[in-house]
Amino acid sequence: MKVKIMKNHPGEGQFPTFSQGANVKMGEGCTHFLNWYACEIEGYPTYIPDVFVVDGKLMRDYNPTELICEVGEIVEIKEVFYAWFIAIKADGTIGWIPAEVCSCEV
């Protein structure tokens, strides 16, 4: 599915891809995004959807890098986790964007 970006999303920096099985130190739940938690993975503070972690271990490879998007861009949604999408831009850049910055009207 393709969506149009309706609000700029600046992202929060670049992260490495953490491999399945990596240790995750879970923190507090997010107040704005249900089922997302603050965490630390290999010394990096970040956030993660709860379904990615079981018994303190990553259940799949995970890169928390957010996609930097501007109003009017069209992105393709690859996966949905609660109120966030893993999306890909036309140039092949992949990252997370909150659903609230998107419109399904393309």
Q: Number of structural domains, the chain?
A: 2
In degrees and rounded to multiples of 5, residue 15 shows phi and psi of -130, 155
- Asked whether residue 41 falls in the same domain as residue 69, the answer is no
**For residue 95, what is the enclosing H or E element?**
strand 94-98
What range does the domain containing 99 cover?
A: 2-12+65-103
Q: In angstroms, rounded to a whole number, what is the distance separating the alpha carbons of residues 99 and 1?
A: 13
Residue 106 has pLDDT above 60, yes or no: no
pLDDT digits (tens, 9 = 90+) for 11-49: 988 999 999 999 999 999 999 899 999 999 999 999 999
The structure's pTM equals: 0.91
Is 36 inside any structural domain? Answer: yes
The one-letter amino acid at 10 = P
- The pLDDT score that the predictor gives to residue 66 is 97
- Asked whether residue 71 falls in the same domain as residue 99, the answer is yes
- Asked whether residue 91 falls in the same domain as residue 72, the answer is yes
Is 19 inside any structural domain? Answer: no
Is 17 inside any structural domain? Answer: no
- The pLDDT score that the predictor gives to residue 105 is 66
Is 45 inside any structural domain? Answer: yes
Is 7 inside any structural domain? Answer: yes
Question: Kind of pairing, strands 2-5 and 102-103?
Answer: antiparallel
- Return the CATH number at 7: 2.30.30.40
